[in-house]
Chains A and B, each alone.
Chain A
């Protein structure tokens, strides 16, 4: 089995890139691959807990919790999150908070790395 690291750069609402990234992560984890997710730029928006699932908008909290339960490591760029007004206290439990070197270290041990979305 391989190790896949995914860095989604888009926010949840306004594009389907984040939705795609989370489902890809789930598919890889279901097949037994080790999966890491690095949330940076507008991708950090999905860490907020208490997301309301409205039918017209994508919804990430349920998928994020499922991925964490499957052993997927998810880490958010602390600076990117704080700059957007997101505090640790309001984040989904189990998500790590760190800096960009966490991502580079995961890259070191990855077979494949994917950047998804972003401008």
Chain B
């Protein structure tokens, strides 16, 4: 009877494939996982964007306008709204010259959580400490 940590590593760029969205939607589904588990059991997903995956975190996405689908930005906002911890690799943001002011924020929707820009070493620590690792 316990909680287990799951690490969702998103390393694919947005909209090139379904990967980023799948990583986020699988993580968000943790909200209702208790339907299938016993009392006291649960999973704690941690979502980490690394490499080209950090491009998913840019704000101002217009996926609905151009592709007719929910944007990855909207999925990230939903994830923040349900209190998921989302980490973005600081070194990879710097590599793409992306400032933190350009990242998705769900404050307007009332989310308490924010994207957490952290060094790669912290993401490696999350990977080392999770029970299962998923790469999208």
Contacts and interface: CB of A to CB of B under 8 A. Distances in A.
Given A40-B22, A100-B29, A113-B132, A119 B12 contact: yes
A108 B135 contact: no
Q: What's the interface size class on A, roughly?
A: 10 to 19
A118 B37 contact: no
Given A101-B31, A108-B42, 8 more contacts: A103-B26, A104-B45, A110-B132, A113-B134, A119-B12, A119-B17, A119-B18, A119-B19
Q: How large is the interface on B (under 10, 10 to 19, 20 to 34, 35 or more residues)?
A: 20 to 34
Interface string A75-119: 000000000000000000000000111111111101001010011
A101 B30 contact: yes
Interface of B: 4, 6, 12, 16-19, 22, 25-26, 28-33, 35-37, 41-43, 45, 132, 134-136
A110 B31 CA distance: 19
A41 interface: yes
Contacts of A103: 26, 29
Main secondary structure of the interface of A (DSSP, over half): helix
**Interface residue SS majority, chain B:** mixed
Nearest to B32: A101
B18 A101 contact: no
Contacts of B134: 113, 115
Contacts of A108: 4, 33, 37, 41-43
A41 B32 CA distance: 20
Given A105-B36, A107-B6, A100 B132 contact: no
Contact of B30 (A40, A104, A106, A118): A104
Nearest to A7: B134
B19 to A, nearest CB: 6
A101 B17 contact: no
27 contacts: A100-B26, A101-B29, A101-B30, A101-B31, A101-B36, A102-B36, A103-B26, A104-B6, A104-B26, A104-B29, A104-B30, A104-B33, A105-B33, A106-B36, A107-B6, A108-B33, A108-B41, A110-B132, A113-B132, A113-B134, A115-B134, A115-B135, A118-B17, A118-B136, A119-B12, A119-B16, A119-B17
